Amino acid sequence: MKIRYLPWGCILGCLMLILPDRGFGQDTIKVIPDGTEGETLPLIDSTTKKKPFNSFNLGFTSFKIGVAFLYEYAGFSQDDEGKRQMDSANVSLDPGFDVRDTRLFFSGKLKTKRTVTWKAGVMYDGSLNSWFLRESGIMIAVPELWGHIFVGRTKEGVSLSKVMSGYAVEMLERHMASDPIPILADGVKWMGFLPKQRIFWNLGIYADWLSKGQSFSTDSWQFASRLGWLPVYSEATKTHLHIAANIRLGHPVNDTIRIKSRPEANPAPFFMDSGKFRSDQSTYLGWEIYYSSGPWMLGTEYFWHKFSSPEKGDPVFNGGEVVVTYLFGGESRPYTTAGGNIYGFVPVKKSVFKGGPGTWEAGLRYSIFNMNDGLVQAGKFWRVTPTVNWYLADFLRFELSYGYGVLDRFNLKGATHFLQSRIAFTIR
């Protein structure tokens, strides 16, 4: 199965390059090829009407270069039970500063009859101490299918939080119940949106023929889908109600799976670890609901991760989050229907480098993940996290958060206090 579908996607992609684009009606000034890393491809800035300094015209394609950098600190304080849990897991919880990641990304729009954009990216992962290829591929406008087709390496499309750029999410980390969902996959994804019905979707099929052996490649093949509806969608009032369901089916590599989860702190070790166990199928089901109105955003996601493993009692792990944020100064978090129906980067009216206050945001999240089921007792963890974000400029963000969480594992309930901060720099 992993070989059968991808060649057809590549053939379809090549055909679309030579077919005319009949009335897709897209804005030719601003093109968003995928949205998952937030890289837009404007030849002209939509606000200043000027060509961005990092955008060039090479004739056959536009060319844009971007760079991003994350540097963070995490400090921890545990009670006696928490310390004993770390000893039992044979890990250490050490405070410190760390380079989270550094990345370069490139993008452009081909000079073709049909709208075709491309993107490529590389990233240094601080936790793995290595470089690897990020989202890279081509996006083809397909009005005949009411949307776009992406061929290459991308995010699967499951979970709004997971699809958003890590530099744009409202909290320092995504919620831990999304940890089993791989951050990237190689394959073909079809994304669409019907404005009149306000229905959106993405369907993707992926295989590991290029990514086998990489940390994110947990399945030899997977099918991922997300179907949603916007019962409320008003750009005039900045009001949106987003409802979607997620379904993912996969075949674990070598019929073996291992699920690990950090406590929403990347410098921390894995608090929960299932260890390797045999499974010939993974099934992820979930829902997401987001409501935003002006400066307010309220969101929730919940997932069930089921593994076919008779020897482990077919365990089902489950968890999710509830999060609320507020932007001060009259700003609102932008929502886009291009590239997967996600929230984008927070705008800054007047940066601190121009004498302004930047933009401030306050957030509060409750999250939980239960990895105790069947014969797998990997732990259950919940956490409450208030956060303050200061967007000094469009390219610079400072984040500060405190967290309190309780881990139920090894017949102990240990508490941990978290103090985290991060500087995010991005030119996109």
Whether residue 22 has pLDDT greater than 60: no
pLDDT score recorded for residue 231: 97
Say yes or no to pLDDT of 47 above 50.
no
35 Ramachandran zone, left/alpha/beta (phi>0; psi -120 to 50): left
> Coil, strand or helix: which one is 148?
strand
Q: What is the pLDDT of residue 152?
A: 96
How confident is the model over 357-372, as a mean pLDDT? 98
Task: Using pLDDT thresholds of 50, 70 and 90, give the confidence band for residue 131.
Answer: confident
Domain boundaries, the chain: 72-101+141-427
Residues 6+ apart with CB under 8 A from 130: 124
Q: For residues 355-377, give the mean pLDDT.
A: 97
Q: Does the pLDDT of residue 6 top 80, yes or no?
A: no
Q: Which range has the worst mean pLDDT, 4-18, 89-103, 118-132? A: 4-18
Exposure b/e, 101-139, CB count within 10 A at least 16 = b: bbbebebbbbebebbbbbbbbebbbbeeeeebbbbbbbb
Of the candidates 398, 301, 392, the residue with the CA atom closest to the CA atom of residue 343: 301
Q: Could you tell me which residue, 290 or 210, shows the higher pLDDT?
A: 290
Q: Around Cβ 370, how many Cβ atoms within 10 Å?
A: 17
Please say if the pLDDT value at position 34 is more than 60.
no
pLDDT of residue 365: 98
pLDDT for the residue 31: 37
Percent of the chain residues past pLDDT 90, beyond the cut = 80
Q: 29 vs 264, which has greater pLDDT? A: 264
Q: What is the pLDDT of residue 338?
A: 78
Cα separations in angstroms, 28 against 38, 104, 107, 340: 18, 25, 15, 19
Better-predicted residue by pLDDT, 362 or 24: 362
Average pLDDT of span 241-255: 97
Confidence of residue 50 (pLDDT cuts 50, 70, 90): low
- What does the pLDDT average to over 128-141? 90
Residues in Cβ contact with 186 at an 8 Å cutoff, skipping those fewer than 6 apart = 152, 153, 206, 207, 208, 209, 210, 211
**Please, which pLDDT band fits residue 82 given cuts at 50, 70 and 90?**
very high
Q: Tell me, what's the pLDDT at 11?
A: 35
Residue 134 clears pLDDT 80, i.e. is over it: yes
Are the C-beta atoms of 259 and 271 separated by less than 8 Å?
no
Question: CB neighbours (10 Å) of residue 404?
Answer: 14
pLDDT at 130: 83
Encode pLDDT of 317-348 as tens digits. Answer: 999 999 999 999 888 999 998 778 999 999 99
Q: What is the pTM of this model?
A: 0.88
CATH (residue range 72-101+141-427): 2.40.160.10
Which pLDDT value is given to residue 2? 34
Give pLDDT, residue 266: 92
pLDDT-derived band at 12 (thresholds 50, 70, 90) equals: very low
pLDDT top residue among 378 and 12: 378
Lowest mean pLDDT among 125-139, 223-237, 370-384: 125-139
- Tokens representing residue 232 in the block: 């409320």
Task: Specify the pLDDT at position 49.
Answer: 56
Could you read off the pLDDT of 149-183 as tens digits, one per residue?
Answer: 999 999 999 999 999 999 999 999 999 999 999 99
| Mean pLDDT of the chain, nearest integer | 88
Token pair of 208 as six digits: 């590991």
